[in-house]
A and B are shown apart, each in its own frame.
Chain A
Amino acid sequence: MKAITWLALSLILSASPVAAADGISGEREQELQNLLIQDCGSCHGLQMKGGLGPALLPEALRGKSAEYLSTVILHGRTGTAMPPWRFLLSEAEARWMAERLLQGVTQ
């Protein structure tokens, strides 16, 4: 029973347009999701409510585009503790994370 649910879930996930469009594998998406919650969460909070860095909840990001957010992710913000993640993320991956943030990140 558990296996069937899992199978159905993976089918739904693999059919999601985000995964298909940007060429990010399902496995990599899981890594990115973990990175988003755990490592971005180190400064922004596991629930994105903020910490050393600002809150990244959808309402806090209202009016900011995915393009702008992915630029900040890739290049960081000079004069703040936000580092440039381009050493670890591709442009498509940064964009994926920006879209996740705008949707609201849930564990």
Chain B
Amino acid sequence: MIRVIASLAFLLLINTPAMARGTGDLGLFIERASSSVQIVETSSNTSIGSVAGLGDLSHASVVYSRDQRYAYIFGRDGGLTKVDILKAEISQRKLQSGNSIGGAISQDGRLVAVSNYKPGGVKVFDADTLELVADIPATFGDNNQRSKVIGLVDAPEGKFVFALWDAGEIWVLDMSQRDRPVIEKFKNIGRNPYDALITGDGRYYIAGLFGEDGMAMLDLWNPSAGVKRILPDYGKGEQKLPVFKMPHLEGWAVAGDLAFVPAIGAHEVLVINMRDWQEAGRIKVHGQPIFVMARPDGRQVWVNFAIPNNDTIQVIDTQTLAVIKQLKPGKGVLHMEFEPRGEEVWLSVRDENRVEVYDTRSFERRNTIPATKPSGIFFTARAHRIGL
């Protein structure tokens, strides 16, 4: 009821020109079982509206237009929905494939790319009209099999980069001339890349490998050097623990020269020295890490975990590499999103149907927002960051 009143109040506000407002402190979170999102405001830590009718939102993700007004929501059912977060309404929606996994927006904000599982490939759309601009099937092998595509990100100079789960390849798609897509393929990068990320400067693309040890790294400033294996010895000869959920490599948890990534099949966070790409440490944690995310200033890294440890969050101090705080927000902590400058962090607690806001200095809970099976949380500040 309160939410209804809040939404009505919000609608009244935005329909009154005198009350025009910015969107820099807005965002949304996915309610994955009810095909809806709630629009939130980080200044007041409240929900200010909701939008329904978004299809199957298992594993949904979101990118923002550069004016931070429109959210492009990528649904599992292949749905691509453009939501106007000021009006809290769908502005356009398209079913673009049978089964998709994520997307990215181009450097200039004019193209939106979607990575698809079925049929495997990438489709590129006009960000204004959602008209199809390019269809890039992820074919590989002698029989032109189609691979599932993962780890799609935007990169500088009008490019998109993604990896092929079934083929073990990384492709760089140059869309700087939208009617003439150019693809550069890197083969034999390792078995089953499960997710990937690009560093905040847009230089290094790194794919995690499920099928073998280490990670595959491509230096986009020196692509002729090819894909290199980093952390090749990680996990060698060790008994792997079962992976009940694939880790995510979203963003890049960096503090100084150190980067933090989830291990796979081990209850550890790996620390990489980015000067020489050597392993700089392993931090024992509470379970299989899923998201390993740095507070925007890089002083803390927050980690959540796969089932059966997904009621817990651990916070790592990036100077000492020690776990300095353990929180139990509730069952099914799926995602974390820091406010743009990091003083607060939002957590979705799926099985308890709420989203929590925590102060990152005192670790005190600031607010609780009722939600239906919340998963990903996405703030508009992502609009201006490479790779998000």
B194 within 8 A of A: yes
B32 within 8 A of A: yes
B332 within 8 A of A: yes
Interface size on B, residues (CB 8 A): 28
A49 within 8 A of B: yes
A107: chain B residues at CB < 8 Å are 33
B residues in contact (CB < 8 Å) with A: 32-33, 56-59, 76-77, 99, 101, 117-118, 148, 165, 192, 194, 210, 242-246, 307-308, 332, 350-351, 373
Q: List 9 A-B contacts (CB under 8 A).
A: A38-B332, A45-B76, A49-B99, A50-B118, A51-B58, A51-B59, A51-B117, A52-B101, A85-B242
**How many angstroms from the CA of A37 to the CA of B332 in the assembled complex?**
13
Point out the residue from A42, A76, A84, A88 that lies within 8 Å of B58, measured CB to CB: A42
Query: Given A46-B58, A47-B56, are A52 and B165 also a contact pair (CB < 8 Å)?
Result: yes
**How many angstroms from the CA of A43 to the CA of B192 in the assembled complex?**
14
Point out the residue from B99, B243, B332 that lies within 8 Å of A50, measured CB to CB: B99
A49: chain B residues at CB < 8 Å are 56, 76-77, 99
CB distance from A102 to the nearest CB of B (A): 21
Within 8 A of B (CB), among A58-94: 76, 81, 83-85, 87-88
CB distance from B219 to the nearest CB of A (A): 27
A39 within 8 A of B: yes
A residues in contact (CB < 8 Å) with B: 34-35, 37-39, 41-43, 45-47, 49-52, 76, 81, 83-85, 87-88, 107
**A83 B244 Cβ-Cβ under 8 A:** yes
A38: chain B residues at CB < 8 Å are 33, 332, 350-351, 373
Query: Given A51-B101, A88-B244, are A81 and B210 also a contact pair (CB < 8 Å)?
Result: yes
Query: Given A46-B33, A47-B58, A81-B210, are A39 and B307 also a contact pair (CB < 8 Å)?
Result: yes
**A52 B246 Cβ-Cβ under 8 A:** yes
**How many angstroms from the CA of A76 to the CA of B242 in the assembled complex?**
9
A47: chain B residues at CB < 8 Å are 56, 58, 77
**How many angstroms from the CA of A34 to the CA of B32 in the assembled complex?**
13
CB distance from A34 to the nearest CB of B (A): 7
**How many angstroms from the CA of A41 to the CA of B194 in the assembled complex?**
17
| Additional A-B contacts beyond A51-B58, A81-B243 (17; CB < 8 A) | A34-B351, A38-B350, A38-B351, A38-B373, A39-B244, A39-B307, A42-B58, A45-B76, A49-B77, A50-B118, A51-B59, A51-B117, A52-B165, A81-B246, A83-B244, A84-B242, A87-B242
CB distance from B76 to the nearest CB of A (A): 5
**How many angstroms from the CA of A50 to the CA of B77 in the assembled complex?**
10
Point out the residue from B32, B148, B332 that lies within 8 Å of A46, measured CB to CB: B32
**B243 A83 Cβ-Cβ under 8 A:** yes
A37: chain B residues at CB < 8 Å are 33
A83: chain B residues at CB < 8 Å are 242-244
**How many angstroms from the CA of A88 to the CA of B77 in the assembled complex?**
29
**B242 A43 Cβ-Cβ under 8 A:** no
**How many angstroms from the CA of A85 to the CA of B308 in the assembled complex?**
11
B242: chain A residues at CB < 8 Å are 76, 83-85, 87
**B194 A42 Cβ-Cβ under 8 A:** no
Point out the residue from B56, B194, B245 that lies within 8 Å of A45, measured CB to CB: B56
Closest 5 CB pairs of A and B: A83-B242, A46-B58, A45-B58, A39-B307, A41-B58
CB distance from B368 to the nearest CB of A (A): 20
| Residue in B58, B99, B101, B118 whose Cβ sees the most chain A Cβ within 10 Å | B58
**How many angstroms from the CA of A22 to the CA of B83 in the assembled complex?**
46
CB distance from A89 to the nearest CB of B (A): 11
Point out the residue from A39, A46, A84, A87 that lies within 8 Å of B245, measured CB to CB: A39
**How many angstroms from the CA of A52 to the CA of B307 in the assembled complex?**
17
| Residue in A34, A46, A50, A107 whose Cβ sees the most chain B Cβ within 10 Å | A46
Residue of A nearest to B191 (CB): A79
CB distance from B74 to the nearest CB of A (A): 13
**B56 A46 Cβ-Cβ under 8 A:** yes
Query: Given A47-B58, A76-B242, A81-B246, are A52 and B351 also a contact pair (CB < 8 Å)?
Result: no
A84: chain B residues at CB < 8 Å are 242
CB distance from A31 to the nearest CB of B (A): 9
**A42 B76 Cβ-Cβ under 8 A:** no
**A51 B373 Cβ-Cβ under 8 A:** no
**How many angstroms from the CA of A81 to the CA of B57 in the assembled complex?**
21
A76: chain B residues at CB < 8 Å are 242
